[in-house]
Structure 1
Amino acid sequence: MRRPVGGGDRWGRRLASPWWRGALALLAGALPALAFPEPSLWWWAYAALVPWLLLVRSAPTGRRAVLDGWLGGAGFLLAAHHWLMPSLHVFIVVLALLLGLLWAPWGWLTHRLLHGRPGSGRVAAALVVLPSAWLMAELVRSWEYLGGPWGLLGASQWQVAPALRLASVGGVWLLGFLLVMVNVAVAVLIAVARARTVALAGLTACGAAAAAAWAWVPQAKEPGTARIAVVQPGVIHGPGPRFERSAELTRQLADRHVDLVVWGESSVAQDLTTHPEVRRRLAGLSRTVGADLLVNVDARRSDRPGIYKSSVLIGPNGPTGQRYDKMRLVPFGEYVPARPLLGWATSVGKAAGEDRHRGTGPVVMNLPGSLRIGPLVCFESAFPDMSRTLAREGARMLVVQSSTSTFQGSWAPEQHASLAALRAAETWRPMVHATLTGESAVFGPRGEPVGPRMPTDAGAATVYTVPLGQGTSPYVRIGPWPVYGAMAALAVFCAAEGGRALRRRTDRPSDHGPDRRTDQPTPGRP
């Protein structure tokens, strides 16, 4: 009589199938995306990697673990950036597979340290080495030419006050490191009974770090406020009608006693040098409101070749001469990398038909009343180093001008707005996130929300009373020290592994057997 196959046997056969296992790796890698907006299940980030870790741990060989790490990384990138599909079409799959390779070493290390029945020493090493390897994957993909730091695991904690306090110490990198450590500890609690004490010690260390940050890390001082107006025209097609709607909303701000009016990205489509009528209209709006305007010009420059995206400060007499040209451009959205090779992407998606040009450096602008602002444009708010540089150069407020109108109805607008909370907490500087079509939002110097957010179905001019930050956060002062610590941890681990391999090779018996003593009698001789 044939015995029925149990559920465990069925799953065992599926895990032995390379196709089933590959599909599960893609799915397991995609799960952390639920921690980001729009779902915004921030608590899920503390266990989201566990299925992926358990799958990689169970790989029969290190080579299979490398493949599971690669496919999981691709699944994560596809899930976190799925809203790019209408723009990039099939090319996003190619990019996800290429960047997913960054998690292949993480897969190998997971298998090396957690496969089988690891002892306390290997588990203790895993609690440090695996978060360090994860940070290296995030660091490399954060390079602007590889897509930038959108969807870093630590960014999922943008609305958690203790996490934001930790961000002021070590930035988004510290949050990512601790989240991966928690996930590794939970995976060990589930699968490695003999090392549960070490896992509990790791969880205790993470909790102690959060408690210490909450109790002892200083908070940003708030010595004053500024009244900032954000103009969000809403979904309006065409640069002309969009400009008119922005001007109409700005006129409504008369007698509101604001210090600055912020328009979104690409809110002006003409070069102000060659279009004096536009320049005069903007100056008139500044006089009407009684405050400077920060507009964003997306146009071909007259003083240099090419198209630039520029934050331009407008006063009652016209441009004040303070201008910031966007430095970090969106791959495929604003330029095509290696266009002679990859230019075909323009025929299958919405890739840029002509490359934008880059600015040469950050700019801190001076407003009347001694308020100093640091402008960023769209994609740049994802880069922790850019906001840190502006804070170090004296900006008391960060302002990002954005446009996510291409991705209305997707997760992108909320994801982008959430990054402003993290940048504010890291730098102790409030951040104003102004968009054309939402979501516009303002966050105080501790990452706390200020006033109402303007959703994607709104068109309005909203005034925010923004607390100003003062002082220098530990992260601004020290920099991304968790990254350097992760590099050191991996270097120590690699050196230890290399030394262990060398000792094994040295201790291996000679191929010719032990040396014979010369005084030993030869068989057959007396």
Structure 2
Amino acid sequence: MVREVLTVSERAPWWRAPAAVTAGALPCLAFPAPALWWFAYVALVPWILLLRSAPRGRRAALEGWLGGAGFVFAVHHWLLPSLHVFLFAVAALVGLLWIPWALLVRELLGGTPGPGRAAAALVLVPAGWLLSELARSWQGLGGPWGLLGASQWQVAPALRLASVGGVWLVGLLVVAVNCALVLLITAPAARSAALAGVTGCAVLTGAVWLWAPRPEPVGSLRVALVQPGLVPDSPDSPERRFDLGERLTGTLAGQRPDLVVWGESSVGADLAARPDLTRRLAELSARVGAPLLVNVDARGADRPGIRKSAVLVGPGGPTGERYDKMRLVPFGEYVPARALLGWATSVGKAAEENRVPGSAPVLMDLPGRPGVRLGPLVCFESAFPDMSRHLARGGAALLVDQSATSTFQDSWAPAQHASLSALRAAETGRPVVHATLTGISEVRGPSGGRIGPALSTAASTARVYEVPLARGTTLYVRFGDWPAGAALAALAVYCAAAGARAVRLRRPGPEPSAPPARTVRGSAGRRAR
């Protein structure tokens, strides 16, 4: 088998391998910071054209792997200063998930597909892409960062689609358009099917825009975001950050906020072990006239290990409402299989000690606003659609994500992270507050649109936002990840049909029956009579 793979590789032109890596990396331009959202609808075309022309399935698998690795590396390239060479290993590992999609592309789009195969491709090629996204969305493989549908975070019709089927439905639509463009370019006999596919995508988007239920306004909430800005690393950085957050929060006195939100790791010591910090926060809450949602990143005085916890503090101190971050960042907050991969700490900035994850989501009652419940998330968790959906189903009126991306301050990471709040708001029909230590902080309304100006990475300030609340339930909250289920079902039917066809072709036919014997009478026989 190895000899056969090498032979195929030797026959392929040398440029195909680097072309696969480059083609796989192209979609990263659709995400922030470039944010060329329209590019997502053509970004896969070069990669698909390359895969459909692969001489054999093994070559398509190789180029699917290389392209997947290129995509993962490009979308996460800002991790390079932290992970160093380990990022290449991660990209190579996760890139394997695109091999099934590459084989589907070659099978369904290779050669000159007719209308039937083209119609199947318009369904199954997007489904295959979604399969790779679902697999890599597992936290152990890095989580759902850089989902293709998330590139449409600023497109109102796409956000409406997200309210129906989440980011998964948006991703299916984007891949289907790319697939249709390839058919228009390469398959004259299938152009009618390709045009029908593009038209179908447009009709679906229009129907959703007109028909899908919209969030119903029901009052508002005055929420203050406190962004202290970059504090140089030093032994006293947590104390300096706390002091700056305290000073900025004090400027909110008289502005009548209902809630003040600090970013991730805004408190660097356990409040049970530091009564002085608890007292300062309580006095600050009384002065401003609103509870503070802070984030404690510290070893617990009464609990083992280091946790990141959202803690609500009122004039009387902590209210008892506390949420411990459940989904930790691989390598940043824990090292998977540390006994095997612990060497990552020697080549990058991987966590020296695993943090302790929380066990369950928490809904917090907002003091002074009966019936208003907060759904806290911490940083990386805003990338997971299921977490915000669970909080919305439980009755959250406001989703709050406390984040910190100061390690990647001058990269694409802050803008990429902030953009996720638009998807989570649209999916749930609930406003989302994205509060960070160093930017980008922003607020999204129940439909995903931005409320007020964002706080850039250069800002050090506190700002009050009038956040509209909404009631009602989106179809995504009600029915969940149904596009993923539909895609998997379509792939299962295709695989079953392909398997049955292969069995029929391999099954031996009936043995041909021997021709009936004929009696041949020669001249001697005739003479004998």
1:90 aligns with 2:85: yes
TM-score, L = length of structure 2: 0.94
In structure 2, the residue corresponding to 1:228 is in which secondary structure?
strand
Distance 1:330 1:523, change over 3 A: farther
* Alpha-carbon distance, 1:16 to partner: 5.6
Residues 1:254 and 2:249 aligned together: no
Question: Stretches of 4+ moved more than 3 A in 1?
Answer: 14-19, 520-526
CA contact (8 A) 1:35 1:41 kept: yes
> Which 5+ residue runs of structure 2 have no aligned equivalent?
1-8
Q: Tell me if 1:472 matches 2:473.
A: yes
Query: Is 2:170 the counterpart of 1:175?
Result: yes
SS in 2 for 1:498: helix
For 2:502 and 2:335, the matched residues in 1 are separated by: 45
Residue 67 of structure 2 corresponds to residue 60 of structure 1: no
**1:522 deviation in Å?**
9.9
3-state SS of 1:43 partner: helix
Of 68, 76, 95, the residue aligned with 2:71 is: 76
Contact kept in structure 2, 1:26 and 1:71, CA below 8 Å: yes
Number of paired residues? Answer: 510
CA contact (8 A) 1:15 1:21 kept: no
- 1:292 maps to what in 2? 291
**8 Å contact from structure 1 (residues 397, 469) kept in 2:** no
Query: Post-superposition shift, 1:515?
Result: 3.5
| TM-score relative to the length of structure 1 | 0.95
Separation in structure 2 between the aligned mates of residue 33 and residue 173 of structure 1, nearest angstrom: 17
Q: Does 1:198 align with 2:193?
A: yes
- Whole-angstrom distance in 1 between the partners of 2:316 and 2:520: 109
Aligned partner of 1:234 in structure 2 is 229
1:269-308 CA-to-partner distances (Å, cap 9, x unmatched) read 1111111001000001100100000000000012221000
Q: Please give the alpha-carbon distance, in whole angstroms, between the structure 2 residues aligned to 1:80 and 1:520.
A: 78
Give the residue type in structure 1 aligned to 2:214.
Q
SS at match of 1:231: strand
Q: Deviations over 1:102-138 (max 9, x none)?
A: 1001001110111111111111111011111111100
The AA in structure 1 aligned to 2:101 is W
The structure 1 residue matched to 2:125, chosen from 118, 130, 137, is: 130
Mapping of 1:251-290 within 5 angstroms?
A: 251-290=250-289
Q: Deviations over 1:248-278 (max 9, x none)?
A: 0000000100000000000001111111001
AA matched with 2:503: L
Relative distance call for 1:212 and 1:15 in structure 2 (3 A) is: farther
Q: What CA distance in whole angstroms lies between the structure 1 residues aligned with 2:151 and 2:329?
A: 21
Match of 1:163?
Answer: 158
What SS is found at the alignment partner of 2:217?
coil
Judged with a 3 Å threshold, the aligned counterparts in structure 2 of structure 1 residues 249 and 505 are, in CA distance, closer, same or farther, namely same
Q: Distance in 1 between matches of 2:306 and 2:252?
A: 31
Query: SS of 2:18's equivalent?
Result: helix
CA deviations on 1:468-497 (whole Å, 9 max, x unpaired) are: 121110000000100000011001101111
SS of the equivalent of 1:432 reads: strand
Whether 1:385 aligns to 2:380 is: no
Match of 1:10 in 2: none
Q: CA RMSD in A?
A: 1.7
Report how far residue 523 of structure 1 moved: 13
Q: Which has the larger radius of gyration?
A: 2
Partner of residue 147 from structure 1, selected from 142, 150, 162: 142
1:211-360, aligned counterparts within 5 Å?
A: 211-237=206-232, 238-360=237-359
In structure 1, how many angstroms separate the alpha carbons of the residues matched to 2:518 and 2:62? 55
SS at match of 1:224: strand
For 1:135, the aligned partner's letter is L
Could you tell me how far 1:17 is from its partner in structure 2?
Answer: 3.9
Q: Would you say the 8 A contact 1:57–1:115 is kept in 2?
A: yes
User: Alpha-carbon deviation of 1:203?
Assistant: 0.4
Supply the distance in 2 between the matched residues of 1:218 and 1:35 (Cα, whole angstroms): 28
CA distance in 2, matches of 1:509, 1:209: 47
Q: Note the C-alpha offset of 1:505.
A: 1.9
1:375 aligns with 2:370: no
**One-letter amino acid matched to 1:207:** A
Once the two structures are superposed, residues 54-112 of structure 1 have per-residue CA deviations (whole angstroms, 9 ceiling, x without a partner) of 00001111111111111111111111000000111111111111111110010011101
SS of match in other structure, 2:466:
strand
- CA apart distance, 1:518: 5.3
Give the whole-Å Cα distance in 2 for the aligned partners of 1:79 and 1:521. Answer: 80
* CA deviation vs aligned residue, 1:166-187 (integer Å, no higher than 9, x gap): 1000000000011111100001
Counterpart amino acid of 1:95?
V
Q: More displaced, 269-278 or 326-335? A: 269-278
Q: Counterpart of 1:5? A: none
CA–CA distance in structure 1, aligned partners of residues 17 and 459 of structure 2: 43
Query: Residue 14 of structure 2 aligns to which amino acid in structure 1?
Result: W
Q: CA deviation at 1:503?
A: 1.8
Distance 2:70 2:429 in 1: 34
Deviations 1:200-226 (A, max 9, x none): 010011000100011111110111100
CA–CA distance in structure 2, aligned partners of residues 391 and 405 of structure 1: 29
Q: 1:106 aligns with which of 83, 101, 109?
A: 101
* d(CA) in 2 for partners of 1:245, 1:405: 15
> In the aligned structure 2, how far is the partner of 1:15 from the partner of 1:255?
73
Q: How far apart, CA to CA, are the structure 2 residues paired with 1:61 and 1:523?
A: 59
| Matched residue, 1:11 | none
In the superposition, relative to structure 1, how do residues 29 and 341 fare at CA in structure 2: closer, same or farther (>3 Å)? same
User: Matched residues in 2 for 1:144 and 1:481: separation?
Assistant: 20
1:19 aligns with 2:47: no
Deviation at residue 15 of structure 1 after TM alignment: 11
Paired AA for residue 94 in structure 2:
L
Cα 1:490–1:520 change in 2 (3 A) is: farther
Paired with 2:82 and 2:430, the residues of 1 have a C-alpha distance of: 33
Aligned to 1:222, what secondary structure does the other structure show? strand
User: 3-state DSSP class of the match of 2:322?
Assistant: strand
C-alpha separation in 1, matches of 2:29 and 2:382: 21
Q: Distance in 2 between matches of 1:402 and 1:343?
A: 26
- Among residues 495, 514, 526, which one is paired with 2:512 in the alignment? 514
For 1:262, the aligned partner's letter is V
Distance in 2 (alpha carbons) for counterparts of 1:291 and 1:156: 36
Is 2:436 the counterpart of 1:421?
no
CA distance in 2 between partners of 1:521 and 1:74 (Å): 73
**Partner Cα separation in structure 1 for residue 203 and residue 89 of structure 2:** 41
The structural deviation recorded for 1:463 is 0.6
User: Once the 2 structures are TM-superposed, how far is the Cα of residue 520 of structure 1 from its aligned partner?
Assistant: 5.3
